[in-house]
Amino acid sequence: MTDARPAPETCIDVRDVHVSFGEKKVLRGITLRIARGETVSVLGESGGGKTVLLKVMLGLLAPDAGDVSLFGVPIRRLSDDRLIPIRKRCAVVYQGGALFSGLNVGENVALELAEVLHLPRAEIEARVRWALDAVGLGDVALTLSPEELSGGMRKRLAVARAIAPRPEVIFYDEPTSGLDPLNSARILGLIDTLHKRLGVTSVVVTHDVRGACTISDRLVLLGGGKVAFDGPPKAFEASDDPTVVAFRSSAPGFSVPSGTAR
């Protein structure tokens, strides 16, 4: 009996992408498709091209060769003006948070709503409160500066700013970097909760392989500028591919956490 369900819609389509910086070849023919509603974590060694791939998927960096499509639209040759409406459907949580120190909590979350989307003031205020509630910061005073928050709270504030415009895709660049294990677990739990609650597509660039296993439908491991592995966490644990084995060995005591259904 065949499965009559339609194939999931492709949200991000990366085809044979090459990127070099001078003589250094960073991406050597990356092909990757991410379906709408998936959570995909991109793993790899430092300097292995994870963030470069993220920039390519966002249209922030044009590849030397290959093609990238977002929402079915090829973006490699689009002008900035034509890219703007596509980028509005996406959000990025940057590694350092990229919060504005000169703006308070409420102003950081409201910035894109006011300056890019030009929403009415009442809707901006409602969305700011909704976003802060969604990340567990509903009790935080809007007038506080980011510097008055803990590291974990600043990460959550960055997530609140990302979800306030209600994007279809959220890119996370090393979301647990610099956090202790407890706050790392909180951020990963938040990513998973928001994914399920909002139905967004999530792309997580991370070195935290164990954490990635808890939230991801698929893991994509980059090695030597290519995709060395692409599959569910349990297949990653079982793989005997030398690149996968070497990467797993870099995470002492690695195993897929119990309860991981993916």
Q: Taken in order 218, 219, 223, 225, is the CA torsion positive or negative? A: positive
Domain boundaries defined on the chain: 9-82+174-262, 90-166
DSSP class of residue 114? H
Q: Which of 146, 143, 142 is nearest to 154 (CA)?
A: 146
- CATH fold of the domain at 9-82+174-262: Rossmann fold (3.40.50)
Cβ-contact 14, 31 below 8 angstroms: yes
pLDDT in tens, the chain (262 residues): 445 555 568 899 999 999 999 999 999 999 999 999 999 999 988 888 999 999 999 988 999 999 999 999 999 888 888 888 998 899 999 887 788 989 999 999 999 999 988 999 999 999 999 999 999 999 888 999 999 998 889 999 999 999 999 999 999 999 888 888 888 888 899 999 888 888 899 999 988 888 899 999 999 999 999 999 999 999 999 999 998 988 888 765 555 555 554 5
The reply to whether the predicted model has a pTM over 0.75 is yes
Written as one letter, the residue type at 58 is L
Q: Are 194 and 200 in contact (CB under 8 A)?
A: yes
Q: What pLDDT score was predicted for residue 1?
A: 46
What is d(CA 52, CA 105) in angstroms, rounded to the nearest whole number?
A: 29
Tell me, letter by letter, the H, E, C secondary structure of 218-232: EEEEEECCEEEEEEC
In the prediction, which pLDDT does 229 show? 95
